[in-house]
Amino acid sequence: MKWYHYLAAFFAGAFLANTVPHFIHGVSGDSFPSPFSHPPGKGLSSPTVNVLWACFNLLIGFILLRVSKTSVQNKFSLLVLFLGILAMSVQLSIVFMEKMTQ
């Protein structure tokens, strides 16, 4: 695999991880911050916007996963995918924790 396959795997993990909070809040009918809120990322977006944003993240994550050629045979590519999920998950937990304490 080439270096850009691993880069695609990392960002596939990040986009797939970002799908989860937006989708859960959206289908639960809760408002939640998104890049389309006012101000961006700080205000709240409607549940519909969050579901659409989650689906967009899922689509991009899926495309990047296919581009990355990640497979169970290539353990390092799975590790890089997991690191993308981990990095985005930790970042989201920090950002949303700060929002809840405000």
What does the pLDDT read at residue 102?
58
String of b and e for 20-49 (b: at least 16 CB within 10 Å)? bbbbebbeeeeebbbeebeeeeeebbbbeb
Predicted local distance difference test score (pLDDT) of residue 80: 97
Interatomic CA distance for residues 20 and 93, integer angstroms: 12
How would you write the pLDDT of the chain (102 residues) with one tens digit per residue? 899 999 999 999 999 999 999 999 999 999 988 899 888 777 899 999 999 999 999 999 999 999 999 999 999 999 999 999 999 999 999 988 876 665
- CA nearest neighbour of 70 among 26, 6, 22, 4: 6
Pair of tokens at residue 68: 């990355």
pLDDT of residue 98: 74
Task: Note the pTM of the prediction, 2 decimals.
Answer: 0.90
